[in-house]
Chain A
């Protein structure tokens, strides 16, 4: 099943774009591959915006699917910001949802290692308007700064919240579950509301 999906999404169709991009970037392209049928490129954070601009203008990746991040606290740099892009064939833009074998939908993934301190990643808002909220969410949950973002503030958490919860060192703030043997003490300590 996974192979079928890969074929239909044109696994091999996205790889030439990635190889061309890797050649352009030279040393800035840290790794290229297609694990589990998903074309992925690991690149240096300073080159992100120009790479995405090239992909959008020269290769037709007009659709930014998602922006997210993963925290690897033991590795330096700590975060990896992950972008998923999609190129729709001209037939889809004209209104035909069924792609053909020679003009498939091409999907790829870009990963950018970023450390917590420097705002090395440029915001993609000038290229894709959808990146506005997506990058705000990453800032909110991880604390990764996007340079030139027009409005970088919290989106999901309350404004007064301290910390960035999806980081691995932020605790989940698990509350002790009340069973019959400990419910009396828990209920004594817990703040119940009055009218």
Chain B
């Protein structure tokens, strides 16, 4: 040990330390498990993401956490009881779910539906579309951090749910559309309530647009993010606003009109960018068109019967049960055995808020369906998640999921 040199001051401690020897950093991508319990996945969706830093290498959705075996349950219930099961699949657009199931059953029955029922179905379906898109915008904004917008959009949605409650008794799942027409006649006060809502909607939509559409933060987070091109989207089977945002004109209200949609005057908004911003813009435009269609439906709402006169399909009105024995027998048969479509199969599809929703119903002639399959738009759209986020940042994953608008109940059934 060297003797201390007391004449020389000790050297000050060196400020620059030597950098520690670099540790070998693993080149393996990090696997991050997002969900199923996560605030930003729309329900219980699990995404297994491989990351290289912040860049996504692959994103595999793992679904099935909400699988309810509804398709098997359909086979155990009668056709009318199926109207309670169908809306619980895609629970954000229950009327549309209800409608397409009933359309498939009516195709099997080859039933004639009165005009009043058809117009009311269109009206309720469009209100349901508005309600679903309101949730979409509220939750999309919430996922991206703009949490106050949800309070605004749900304010209008509550009004729509009030109308649903007025009509069918329940806020979300009124099961009002039944095979043959409607379950009961429209209540008094319905037209005024719808009128009040439709008068208020355009101003509300302007309010949401003022908050989001030209907002630089919103644009930065959604423009060019989660983009998909037309050819990819078609191969992946994407439908709905996500497909129309890429430039392909596929809207079942025009391609295969149902419930008299060919008589209504409306535009189908289209876009070509295919990114999250385009999908958002399309949905706002679709809401405006829905207000237009609903207004036309309200104006042309005819009087008349609300369900078909065929007693083998629609039950007789209550007052007839007191006087006609035949009505009592029909009522009894419908409630015990259920309506019996002739053996066959039918596929009916509508333009639900999320895309093409179809029901494939196979009947064997008994009162219970033999097989019911739902072509769920969210299930197919979710396959497009991986191409959308590959090579992008992990934060864009949330934007991609939110802009695709999956409803996990419909994905997992």
- A interface residues with partner B (beta carbon < 8 Å): 1-2, 4-5, 8-9, 35-36, 38, 62-66, 68, 70-71, 82, 84, 88, 91-99, 105, 107, 109, 128-130, 132-134, 137, 141, 154-158, 165-166, 172, 174
User: Which of the 9-residue segments B108-116, B189-197, B323-331 touches chain A?
Assistant: B108-116
A68 vs B262: C-alpha distance when bound (angstroms): 30
Identify the closest chain A residue to B69 (Cβ). A165
- Which of A70, A97, A137 meets B244, CB within 8 Å? A97
Whether the pair A156, B360 counts as a contact (CB closer than 8 A) is no
Q: Is A97 in contact with B236, judged by CB distance below 8 angstroms?
A: no
Q: A1, A66, A70, A155: which contacts B375 (Cβ < 8 A)?
A: A66
B residues 237-282 touching A (CB-CB < 8 Å):
237, 244, 247-251, 254-260, 262, 268, 270, 272
Residues of A within 8 A of B371 (CB): 70-71
In the complex, whether B179 has a CB less than 8 A from a CB of chain A is: no
Inter-chain contacts of B256 with A (CB < 8 A): 5, 8-9, 105, 107
**Contact present for B73 and A97 (CB under 8 Å):** no
Q: Which A-chain residue is minimally distant from B381 (CB atoms)? A: A130
Q: For residue A5, which residues in chain B have a CB less than 8 angstroms away from its CB?
A: 107, 256-258, 348
Interface pair A35/B345, CB less than 8 Å apart: yes
Residue of chain A at shortest CB distance from B256: A9
Additional A-B contact list (13), CB under 8 Å, known A4-B260, A9-B255, A133-B382? A1-B106, A36-B344, A66-B358, A70-B370, A88-B250, A92-B255, A93-B248, A95-B270, A105-B255, A107-B256, A128-B235, A156-B413, A172-B72
Known contacts A2-B110, A97-B244, A109-B347; is-contact A133 B64 (Cβ 8 Å): no
In the bound assembly, the distance between CA atoms of A88 and B67 in angstroms comes to 32
Contact of A97 with B270 at beta-carbon distance under 8 Å, contacts A36-B108, A62-B234, A66-B360 already known: yes
Chain A residues with CB below 8 A from B257, complex form: 4-5, 8
In the assembled complex, which residues on chain A have CB atoms less than 8 Å from the CB atom of B73? Answer: 172
Given known A-B contacts A1-B118, A4-B257, A95-B249, A166 and B237 have beta carbons under 8 A apart: no
Contact, CB under 8 Å: A133 / B248: no
Cβ B248 vs Cβ A70 within 8 A: no
Within the complex, which residue of B258, B262, B347 is in contact with A84, where a contact is CB–CB below 8 Å?
Answer: B347
Given A5-B256, A92-B255, decide whether A133 and B383 contact each other with a Cβ distance below 8 A. Answer: yes
Which A-B residue pairs are the 9 nearest by beta carbons? A130-B237, A97-B249, A66-B375, A9-B256, A68-B373, A156-B64, A97-B268, A105-B255, A156-B67
Q: Are A65 and B110 in contact (CB under 8 A)?
A: no
B201 in the interface (beta carbon within 8 A): no
Cβ distance A125 to chain B, nearest Cβ, rounded Å: 11
Find chain A residues with CB under 8 A from B360 CB. Answer: 66, 68, 82, 84
Residues of B within 8 A of A93 (CB): 230, 248-249
Contact A92 B71 (CB under 8 A): no
A35 pairs with B344, CB closer than 8 A: yes
Query: Does A128 lie within 8 Å of B346, measured CB to CB?
Result: no
Write the nearest CB–CB distance from B165 to chain A, whole angstroms.
Answer: 28
CB-CB < 8 A to B176: which residues of A?
A: none
